Amino acid sequence: MHSKEQISHDDYQKTAEWLMSRTKHRPQVSIICGSGLGRLADSLSCRDQFSYSEIPGFPQSTVQGHAGCLVFGELKGRSCVCMQGRFHMYEGHSLLKTTFPIRVFKLMGVQTLVVTNAAGSLADHLHPGDIMIIKDHINIPGLAGLNPLHGPNDDKFGPRFPAMSSCYDRGLRSLALEVTKQLDIAGLVQEGVYAMVGGPNFETIAEARMLHRLGVDAVGMSTVPEVVVATHCGMQVFGLSLITNKVVKSYEDSDCVNHDGVLEVGRLRSETVQQLVTEVISRMEINNNIDRTSSAV
């Protein structure tokens, strides 16, 4: 448990100010790249980028396929900040640390979080290479007592007991479904429920069957803490999972998932995910009258 760890409002503020003094960009949207999806940042123009190791307070990325670079830039005229590499609980970071960038982005004036991930499919209708728009999640570590919001609540960010019943913005989900028709990729895309497990091992067959019975369509080891913290501080969230593998649910099945295979599907579908994310971001409504840093929350 890491519930005694605390990060002060000042710590988030210092990082936000450090970044804002080094880039002219004032992002409205933040994007988190999932495993193998780091090339999403390539679509940004007029880039400023920082290695996580130089940013005060940032944890380090340790997972292959997560470059560890924060990229600012414009996507079709919209100012964005993109995390090329996220932090996972299984790397040994506390959940508060894995979600550190979200509150920094909030203080910088970001209103929308776009999360992407690589995930294994439990649903018969989702195949490797398909994209799942996340409509809801099951927070397995959270249900077991591991939540980034544990510990004293910082009321400046949000309430002690935040609702999570509509954390994946309905308007953005409909917009994304609309965009898939225009991009002619509707056949690849479905909505579904994501579950976060702690990792780093992939699921046993019994665990996979349990998740399937619980109504989970795709499983991964990330995303949910980021979404919980973003929702707590009032950001709207759009999430998508790239299905990189089928989760083995049968003792007769000899398939075996591995991280290289996950990254490979990421590389193959990176461009499609990039197109979808770009179109959704360019068409979403944004409030331009936003205070930044000290008065942002």
Ligand X SMILES: O=P(O)(O)O[C@H]1O[C@H](CO)[C@@H](O)[C@H]1O
Those residues whose C-beta lies under 8 Å from the C-beta of residue 88, and which sit 6 or more positions away, are 63, 98, 199, 200, 221, 222
Among the listed ranges 8-16, 89-97, 117-125, 151-159, the one in contact with ligand HPA (CB under 6 A) is 117-125
Q: State the DSSP code for 160.
A: S
**Judged by CB under 6 A, does residue 220 bind ligand HPA?**
yes
Report the chain's terminal Cα–Cα distance, integer Å. Answer: 28
Question: Which of ligand HPA, ligand X, none does residue 86 bind (CB under 5 to 8 Å by kind)?
Answer: ligand X
Q: Which amino acid is it at 19?
A: L
Tokens of 13: 């503020």
Among the listed ranges 69-77, 91-99, 158-166, 244-252, the one in contact with ligand HPA (CB under 6 A) is 244-252
222 is annotated as contributing to ligand binding: yes
Tokens of 161: 């007991």
**Judged by CB under 6 A, does residue 220 bind ligand X?**
yes
**Closest residue (Cβ) to ligand HPA?**
120
**Shortest distance, CB of residue 127 to ligand X, whole angstroms?**
17
**Shortest distance, CB of residue 73 to ligand HPA, whole angstroms?**
27
Q: Which of 35, 61, 117, 139 is labelled catalytic?
A: 35
**Judged by CB under 6 A, does residue 93 bind ligand X?**
no
Tokens of 49: 């980028």
Q: Which of 245, 270, 279, 296 is labelled catalytic?
A: 245
**Shortest distance, CB of residue 219 to ligand X, whole angstroms?**
9
Cβ atoms of 160 and 274 within 8 Å: the answer is no
Those residues whose C-beta lies under 8 Å from the C-beta of residue 165, and which sit 6 or more positions away, are none
What stretches of 212-296 adopt beta strand conformation (E)? 218-220, 236-246
Among the listed ranges 62-70, 87-95, 113-121, 283-291, the one in contact with ligand HPA (CB under 6 A) is 113-121
Choose which of 91, 203, 217, 226 interacts with ligand HPA (CB under 6 A): 203
Which of helix, strand or coil describes residue 52? helix
d(CA 27, CA 29): 6
Cβ atoms of 108 and 100 within 8 Å: the answer is no
The catalytic site residues sit at 35, 66, 88, 90-91, 118, 221-222, 245, 259
Q: Which residues form the interface with ligand X (CB under 6 A)?
A: 34-35, 63, 86, 88, 117-118, 199, 220-223, 259, 262
